[in-house]
Amino acid sequence: MTRDAPAIDDAGTAAPPPPGKIRCDACPVLCYIADGRSGACDRYANVDGVLTRVDPLVMLERAVEHGDAVTPFLGEGAEWDGALAPSPSRFVTAIGAGTTYPDYKPAPFIVSSQVEGVDMVTVVTEGIFSYCGVKAKIDTDRHLGPERALVRYGGEPIGHVTTGEYGSQMLSLGGVHHLTGGSKKEGRMTCEALLALCNKQAVELAVDDGVSIVVQAGAAPIIDGVVEHRMRVGCGSAAIGMFAKQWFEHVDEVVVVDDHITGVLSEHQAGKLLDVPPTGIKLRGRRSTPGRYFRVAEPGSGWGGTDIEDPLTILEPFDPKVARPGTTLLMVSTTGDHAAYFVLDEALRPVETPMPDAVRASVARVQENCEPALCSVLFIGGAGGSLRAGVTENPVRLTRSVKDALTRVTSGGAEVYVWPGGGITYMVDVTRLPDNAFGYVPTPALVAPIEFTMTLEDYRALGGYMEAVRPLSSLGAVERQVSLPAADGEAWPFDARHFPKALAGERGTR
């Protein structure tokens, strides 16, 4: 289907539809769409003069019978299977549901069903999120760039490096300032990158004064062209604690090189408890507590996330009053990717020597304890604004209902985390949604599925659009729909534990 451009004049008002075109009113762009063509976002089309949501409405079915994970959208022709009476084990997601604009109109689908004899309602809409972004967790020790460094896509700034976590580097991408506060191109590039990331596609990003990185949800990061395989076992100090027993009988000294906390066996509490004698080793950097050193080198893509390629550069000369020729030394990174074995010569200089089998086995054990390095992508969006008006005429009641755990929020059927405090700001792991669940509009903003499920009684009490409630069985008449099995391990949105008061026959309080 060919795409029509939006048709808004410079004053921001929409002219009357030209002959043969219809106007899409699902977002502020208000496209005029000719027959057989789609609007600027490719989500809506003119099909024989009728404004039609192009993608199918996605229904989830309990995976009990299937045992399958959620699969991508079915292809052309794989539409509604003819079942006329969807069972309560079906859940209507907002994927493909469409958007209402402006928001004072009821959401596209407000669907009732019975769960354990209790009338429930699910309000679904594809929310348009100008306030949204992505938090990306990159399992790697490698230095991606300084904290606060800009992250670019297509040359445009779309986010920044933020505080690193345990064994992972973190990126904060998108947000209203990049979407709306910069140039048009910055907003467009931000939207494009967010959309691809949320739809689990690979995106190449460049960090100012840092690396180039390919990020894809659920896949290993590729940093400067190198696939990251392992997430570190822990910091250098933790690694000493974990493997001290396996080391102390086979080697006199161990240094676990780490950009954050480098560990030294003989000085570490673990070594002390195992009676590992001092070796006279001296490290560069800042000693924090015994056997734990900060800043032994600069951050980089070398050993343990430092910039070093030769581990001996972090050592000062051994203390001649303590050190003895023949002392053995293992230096290893926090992933076990780098390791070298040394023996002190007569001048107390470490000389690299073939690694004994027992020591090699200990390095393999470090590697074995590393988890696969992955990129995790969490969409974060704020539904605290006008989107709530599609659910109720009194939007603050919806917010309160969510906070009171009377209303459950899901995104494409997936569990979300709702932040405490004001509004409905939620996060969801994009790998838990069916493929291509996200869309965009060229305002620019992301379109994300969001569902609110509660008892019908609670919906009435919060001022819901009761006249728009329709039974789940009526969705059989929706021509474009697909049923997907809910993912194994995903909490079923109607699960009784989400509505303990209601399904126990005890009405919730507001």
Judged by the rule CB under 6 A, the positions of this chain that interact with ligand SF4 are 6, 24, 26-27, 29-31, 39-41, 43-44, 441-442
DSSP string, 153-189: ETTEEEEEEEEEETTEEEEEEE-HHHHHSS-HHHHHH
Q: Which is nearer to ligand SF4, 44 or 80 (CB)?
A: 44
The residues, any chain, with a CB within 8 Å of residue 321's CB and separated by 6 or more, are 280
Kindly list the distances between the CA atom of residue 26 and the CA atoms of 16, 39, 103, 182, 261, in Å, as whole numbers in the listed order. Answer: 16, 10, 10, 25, 53
- Least distance from C-beta 418 to ligand SF4, angstroms? 26
Closest CB to ligand SF4 among residues 98, 221? 98
Closest CA to 413 of 398, 430, 397: 430
Least distance from ligand SF4 to the Cβ atom of residue 369, Å = 49
Contact 112, 471 (CB under 8 A): yes
Smallest separation, CB 45 to ligand SF4 (Å): 8
**Cβ nearer to ligand SF4, comparing 43 with 268:** 43
CB 74 within 8 A of CB 108: no
Residue nearest ligand SF4, Cβ-based: 39
Q: Please report how close the Cβ of residue 384 comes to ligand SF4 at its closest, in angstroms.
A: 22
- Closest contact distance (angstroms) between CB of 99 and ligand SF4 is 6
Of residues 8 and 343, the one with the C-beta less far from ligand SF4: 8
Tokens of 136: 């990306």
Q: φ, ψ for residue 78 (rounded to 5)? A: -95, 60
CB of 314 to ligand SF4, least distance (A): 56
Nearer to ligand SF4, 109 or 342 (CB): 109
Question: Is 188 buried (19+), middle (13-18) or exposed (0-12) by CB count in 10 A?
Answer: middle
Complex with ligand SF4: residue 32 or 91, whichever CB lies closer: 32
CB of 48 to ligand SF4, least distance (A): 16
Tokens 């493909």, residue located: 96
273-315-307-271 Cα dihedral, nearest 10 degrees: 0
Residue placing its CB nearer to ligand SF4 in the complex, 41 or 58: 41
- For ligand SF4, the closer of residues 29 and 406 by Cβ is 29
For the bound state, the minimum distance from the C-beta of residue 41 to ligand SF4, rounded and expressed in Å, comes to 3
CA separation for the pair 133, 123 (Å, rounded): 23
CB of 472 to ligand SF4, least distance (A): 26
Minimal distance, residue 128 CB to ligand SF4, in Å: 8
* Of 62 and 480, CB closest to ligand SF4: 480
Nearer to ligand SF4, 381 or 444 (CB): 444
Task: Label residue 245 exposed, middle or buried (CB < 10 Å: 0-12, 13-18, 19+).
Answer: exposed
Residue placing its CB nearer to ligand SF4 in the complex, 31 or 217: 31
Provide, rounded to whole angstroms, the least separation between the CB of residue 447 and ligand SF4. Answer: 8
Choose between 194 and 323: whose C-beta lies nearer to ligand SF4: 194
135, 378 Cβ separation under 8 angstroms: yes
Least distance from C-beta 443 to ligand SF4, angstroms?
8
- Straight-line distance from the first to the last Cα atom of the chain, in angstroms, rounded to the nearest whole number: 48
With contact defined as beta carbons under 8 Å apart, do 317 and 323 qualify?
no
| Contact between residue 464 and residue 121 where contact means Cβ atoms under 8 Å apart | yes
Q: At 304, give phi and psi (nearest 5°).
A: 55, 30
> CA 232 to CA 215: how far, in whole Å?
18
Q: How many helices (H) and strands (E) does the chain have?
A: 8, 36
Q: How far is the CB of 383 from ligand SF4 (least distance, A)?
A: 18
Encode 83-144 in three state secondary structure.
CCCCCCCEEECCCCCCCCCCCCCCCCEEEEEEECCEEEEEEEEEEEECCEEEEEEEECCCCC
**CA-angle at 427, arms to 393 and 501, nearest 5°:** 60
The residue (of 44 and 499) whose beta carbon lies closer to ligand SF4 is: 44
